[in-house]
Amino acid sequence: LELHTFIAALVLFPAAFCFGAIMPLVIAEVSDSSEASGVKVGFAYAMNTLGAISGALITGFWLMPFLGIGGALRLGAAVLLLGATWILGITLVRRRVAAITLVSGALAIAFLPRWNLSDFTAGIFRTHLARAYQSAGGLYARDVVFYRDGVATTVSVERAGDHLLLKNNGKVEASN
């Protein structure tokens, strides 16, 4: 489990570092020695706060219920890709780099493999299930009959042999 934690940290650190660097870079860009510097910095913080609040509301109450986890993640990746391409297009002399970034990122998003829904509903928040899941190599072979992401829960019905299992957020609530 420690190796998995290290690998996850290794993958997530660059993105977390870059996201953490955005606001200080914006503040450095908008602040200067003029008297209007405070207004510019305040506006930048206000827009950051407004974006964080609206992003959470839109994702939680609209995108997740209508697009599901996979669709919301794909849309988020596409928006980030467009933003990165726009910034590259503004800042670079050669705009071909931005076009190549946009096209390659769009292709990567379009050809992402379909989510394994039974992995999403494995219930690995329980320690004994997490150990079994890890020892099986991350394979969780159950047939997902129904799957729906909601505002507060993910509901699924899975077939395990002759049994049907009703799950909320990976926890079995009922079976036949």
Residue 56, pLDDT score: 92
pLDDT of 99 > 90? The answer is: no
Residue 94, pLDDT score: 61
Calpha distance 27→48 (Å, rounded) = 11
pLDDT digits (tens, 9 = 90+) for 101-110: 777 777 777 7
Q: Specify the residue for token string 């570092």.
A: 17
Q: Which residue has the higher pLDDT, 37 or 93?
A: 37
CA 18 to each of CA 47, 64, 167: distance values in angstroms, whole numbers, following the listed order: 18, 25, 37
pLDDT of 57 > 70? The answer is: yes
pLDDT of 132 > 70? The answer is: no
Calpha distance 152→169 (Å, rounded) = 9
Residue 167 burial by CB count (10 A; 0-12/13-18/19+): exposed, middle or buried? buried
Residue 151, pLDDT score: 73
